[in-house]
Every structure is written in structure tokens, then in C-alpha cells.
């Protein structure tokens, strides 16, 4: 797998039935090692080990439902009241982050009303903070530390 613009961590990869699997420490199980999963595992480790995010408040592959339609957010950070605080959308490193990626995470946020939205392909990372009172958002220069996350409501 490609080296990412994220800190390295102790990766746990195994082979099962001819498929490479990586251990997801949030879901506590092995999952298929795809390029997007490679990014997800590096990014969630980065959030926990470098940015101080509590792993108990992070969920990978969070399920959403709109009527009969089922959606899945790549990673959601919840606050202590278990309300969504941040949504993270991942793409494989070879996928350029384009408007449709931001449209996708914005659609999820119509349901979740999170205060922070992040998109990453492991090489580039974008974070914006919603400013709901003004019906706008602002891009941040870096992924904030957990201790500095403040809702903009």
C-alpha cells in the first residue's frame, strides 16, 4: 500500500482465504484491506493518537437511514451526549478530492447536523466547521485537536 500523509502506526494485517485483511481497532475486527480502508485506519489512528480523540466516541461505517434508503458514513465522531460532532469521508489515495466528495459529505450532514466535516484521501485532508447561524462554513487550516472542538451553534 502507498505511504500516506499521515503518521505511521503499528499495522495489523493478515491474510484470510487469499484476501488481505486489516484490523479495525474501532470495530474490533478484521476488515478487507482496500485502499480506502488503508486511509480510514491511518486517519482514525491519527485522530486518537495525535489529536486526542476518544476512540469510544468514534464509529466507523456508521449507518444512516432515510426512509428505505440506507447510507453509511465512513467515520463519525460523537459528543458525550452521543450526538454527531464530526463526519469524516475517505477516498482511496489515487482518487482526487472533487466537488462530488464534498457533496456526498454535505448530504450526510443534512441528516446528522454535525459541526465539523472532514474529507481525506490520505494525501490531502480538508476540514470545515459549520456555522449554522450564518448558514455557512469555514475551512480550517488543520484537523483540530479534540480538546479544541467547539460547536458553532
The mean pLDDT of 101-126, rounded to a whole number, is 92
Domain membership of residue 7 (yes or no) is no
- The string of pLDDT tens digits covering residues 15-42 is 999 999 999 999 999 999 999 999 999 9
* Contact between residue 153 and residue 132 where contact means Cβ atoms under 8 Å apart: yes
Domain membership of residue 68 (yes or no) is yes
**Domain of residue 121, residue span:** 13-148
Give me 128's grid cell: 470545515
- Position 66 scores a pLDDT of 67
Domain membership of residue 4 (yes or no) is no
Domain membership of residue 99 (yes or no) is yes
- The string of pLDDT tens digits covering residues 60-103 is 998 877 677 777 899 999 999 999 999 999 999 999 999 999 88
Residue 18's Cα: distance from chain center in Å? 28
Residue 84's Cα: distance from chain center in Å? 12
CATH number, domain of 65, equals 3.90.1570
* Contact between residue 87 and residue 106 where contact means Cβ atoms under 8 Å apart: no
Domain membership of residue 81 (yes or no) is yes
Total count of domains within the chain: 1
Domain membership of residue 3 (yes or no) is no
Domain membership of residue 41 (yes or no) is yes
Domain membership of residue 94 (yes or no) is yes
Least confident of 18-32, 45-59, 136-150: 136-150
Element (H, E) at 45: helix 35-49
* Contact between residue 46 and residue 7 where contact means Cβ atoms under 8 Å apart: yes
DSSP 25-37: TTTTEEEE--HHH
Amino acid at each position: 500500500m502507498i505511504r500516506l500523509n499521515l503518521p505511521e502506526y503499528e499495522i495489523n494485517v493478515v491474510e484470510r482465504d487469499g484476501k488481505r485483511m486489516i484490523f479495525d481497532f474501532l470495530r474490533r475486527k478484521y476488515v478487507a484491506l482496500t485502499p480506502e480502508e488503508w486511509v480510514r485506519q491511518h486517519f482514525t489512528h491519527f485522530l486518537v493518537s495525535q489529536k486526542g480523540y476518544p476512540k469510544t466516541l468514534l464509529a466507523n461505517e456508521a449507518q444512516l437511514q432515510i426512509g428505505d434508503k440506507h447510507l453509511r458514513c465512513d467515520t463519525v465522531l460523537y459528543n458525550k451526549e452521543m450526538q454527531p460532532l464530526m463526519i469524516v469521508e475517505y477516498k482511496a489515495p489515487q482518487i482526487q478530492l472533487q466537488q462530488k466528495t464534498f457533496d456526498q459529505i454535505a448530504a450526510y450532514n443534512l441528516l446528522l447536523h454535525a459541526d465539523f466535516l472532514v474529507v481525506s484521501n490520505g494525501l490531502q485532508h480538508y476540514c470545515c466547521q459549520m456555522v449554522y447561524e450564518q448558514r455557512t462554513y469555514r475551512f480550517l487550516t488543520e484537523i483540530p485537536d479534540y480538546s479544541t472542538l467547539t460547536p458553532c451553534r
